[in-house]
Amino acid sequence: MRQIRQKVKSPWLNYPQFPLHFDSEKCNLFPPDLRNQEVQPIKHTVDGAIRMKTVKPAEGETFDIELEESLLRQNEELAQKNRELLDKHNIHAVDILGSIGSGKTTIVQQLVEHLQGKYRTAAIAGDLTTTIDADRIREKGAPVIQANTGKECHLDANLVKKALSKLDLEHLDLLFIENVGNLICPGEFPLGAHQRTVVVSTTEGPHMIVKHPYILMEASVVIINKIDLAGAMEVDTNRLKEDALHIKADLKVVFTNGRTGEGIPELIEALSLPKK
Amino acid sequence: MHEVSIAQSIVHTVLDEAKKQKASRVESVEVEIGELTFLGIDQVEFWVKTGFEGTIAEKAELLFKRVKGVLHCKECNYKGKLRVEEDPLYHVSLPTFSCPRCQSAKIEITQGKEALIRRIKILKK
């Protein structure tokens, strides 16, 4: 999980003598009440920290405001809340990333089928539009919530929060969150899932991993799918694996064929799901 | 694509703060973006400029700083930059998420994932 950055308010905003006035002749900073008095160079200590503030004389006055406002904070906080909700109900959540057509939905279908009877599974299917993916997973007997993003290229923690509110969390052990087909934007938005897996398929060509190294940063498992087509595509699957391990040595790499279910037991093992 | 939402967030945060401070103009905005984020600075800059059009921040100077990726190794206690290989064949830089000193994968990224507005300068009349 990313660390959640607290908004740090500038102590200057609370400082009683703010704003300070700049005396260009003496080149020192003074609270307003000292302006016409005998000049003493001073340092302002706020909460133990010494901070200097430059205020330029202008037709108005210029103020420097330290915001430290994290632009991703809102999503990170929501992701943290999602995680707490999932933990409260002992649900293990897996975020599944991959390009369009890499086989995310087929992998989820296979996982749901293979885990039937062992875990009570559900899925959140993220897509721009349509319920095609959700319907496909539902066929396999798991409750599915469709999260349509409209035009956005990624799921965010808020969409997952909404989807979670529609699931019966009391009767669930495992949740698969299928992200929107994209290997860039979803990387920025943690959802609150416990682990992240990345699906790449041989039909995407031999360079998928090296072209998207940053998405592996937070991943624990890489699935190399459509291995049956590797020959026709002239893709060396071992090279893909080497690329992944070169970028992140502790990744678990599994080879699968989503259509036939080949490699799914190995994938389940690699996911190291909590014991039931 | 998601640069647009980040840019929107910058525009809203800056203009909200400026309003709160009763500013007549925003002089500059300083943004820090980590190199391990998925954000293209040029794209963010373009959308922020577009978002500021027609507002009191229209003429603000935009300062974008790219923050280097730094990791902490839990095995050998290395603290420093990530190893990034430049591969002219692929025309990209290939980062390695393991310790450059002991090759351990037990690392923690301590810097380079941030996207934040560090400070703004406003003019009050």
Report d(CA A56, CA A54) in Å as an integer. Answer: 6
- Measured in degrees and rounded to the nearest 5, phi and psi for residue B83 equal -85, 125
User: Which pLDDT does position B94 carry in this prediction?
Assistant: 82
**Residue B3: what pLDDT?**
87
| Residue A249 near chain B (CB below 8 Å) | yes
Do A159 and A59 share a domain, yes or no?
no
pLDDT at A158: 93
Q: What is the CATH number of the domain that holds A161?
A: 3.40.50.300
Q: CB of A14 within 8 Å of any CB in chain B?
A: no
Give the Å distances, CA to CA, from A109 to A17, A115, A142, A154, A257: 64, 10, 9, 21, 12
Domain interval for residue A152:
74-270
Q: Residues A43, A91: one domain?
A: no
> Which of A8, A20, A52, A71 would best serve as a mutation to test chain B binding (most B beta carbons within 10 A)?
A71
Residue A255 lies in a domain: yes
* A197 and A106 within one domain: yes
Q: Do residues A17 and A147 share a domain?
A: no
Instruction: Decide if A97 is inside a domain.
Output: yes
Separation CA A125–CA A99 (nearest Å):
14
Q: Is the Cβ pair B92, A5 closer than 8 Å?
A: no
Same domain, A80 and A65: no
Residues of B with CB under 8 A from a CB of A: 1-2, 5-6, 9-10, 13, 17, 21, 23-25, 27, 36-39, 87, 90, 92, 94-98, 103, 105-106, 109, 113-125
Average pLDDT, stretch B52-56? Answer: 95
Claim to verify: residue A128 and residue A61 sit in the same structural domain: no
Q: Which residues pair with A57 in a beta bridge?
A: A61
Expressed in angstroms, the distance from the first to the final Cα of chain A is 24
Q: Do A153 and B2 touch (CB under 8 A)?
A: yes
Q: Are residues A78 and A48 in the same domain?
A: no
Residues of B in contact with A67 (CB under 8 A): 13, 17, 116-120
CA separation for the pair A191, A23 (Å, rounded): 51
The closest alpha carbon to A199, from A102, A93, A95, belongs to A102
Q: Which of B38, B98, B119 is the closest to A214 by Cβ? A: B38
Instruction: Tell me if A23 is assigned to some domain.
Output: yes
Are both A34 and A94 inside the same structural domain? no
Residues listed for chain A = 276
Q: Which amino acid is at A268?
A: I
Strands (E), B18-124: 25-34, 61-67, 70-73, 79-81, 83-87, 92-96, 107-111, 115-124
Beta bridge partners of A175: A93, A122
The phi, psi pair for A100, rounded to 5°, reads: -65, 130
Same domain, A26 and A112: no
Cβ atoms of residues A209 and B58 within 8 Å: no
Predicted pLDDT at B64: 94
pTM of the model: 0.77
Q: Which of residues 157-216 of A touch B (CB under 8 A)?
A: 184-185, 187-189, 207, 210-211, 213-214, 216
pLDDT value, residue A21? 43
Note the pLDDT of residue A48: 39
**Contact state of B94 with A210 under an 8 Å Cβ cutoff:** yes
Tokens of A73: 């904070």
Residues A38, A168, single domain; the answer is no
* A117 interface with B at CB cutoff 8 Å: no
- pLDDT greater than 50 at residue B121: yes
Return per-residue pLDDT of chain A as tens, 276 residues.
Answer: 444 444 444 444 444 444 444 444 444 444 444 444 443 444 444 443 444 444 444 457 888 888 888 888 889 999 999 999 999 999 999 999 999 999 999 999 999 999 999 999 999 998 888 888 888 888 888 999 988 888 788 899 999 999 999 999 999 999 999 999 999 889 889 999 999 999 999 999 999 998 899 899 989 999 999 999 999 999 999 999 999 999 999 999 999 999 999 999 999 999 999 987
Domain assignment of residue A276, yes or no: no
Paired residues of A197 in beta bridges: A96, A221
How close, in Å, is residue A95 to chain B by CA atoms?
Answer: 17
Which residues on chain A are in Cβ contact (under 8 Å) with B103?
Answer: 249
- Tally of domains within chain A: 2
Helix (H, G, I), strand (E, B) or coil at A73: helix
Q: How high is the pLDDT of residue A133?
A: 87
A188/B87 touch (CB, cutoff 8 Å), yes or no = no
pLDDT band at B92; cut points 50, 70, 90? low
What ipTM was predicted for this assembly?
Answer: 0.79
As a whole-number percent, the residues of chain B with pLDDT over 90 amount to: 67
Nearest-CA residue of chain A relative to B25?
Answer: A62
Interchain contact, B13 vs A248, CB within 8 Å: no
Quote the CA–CA distance of A109 and A103 in Å, as a whole number: 10
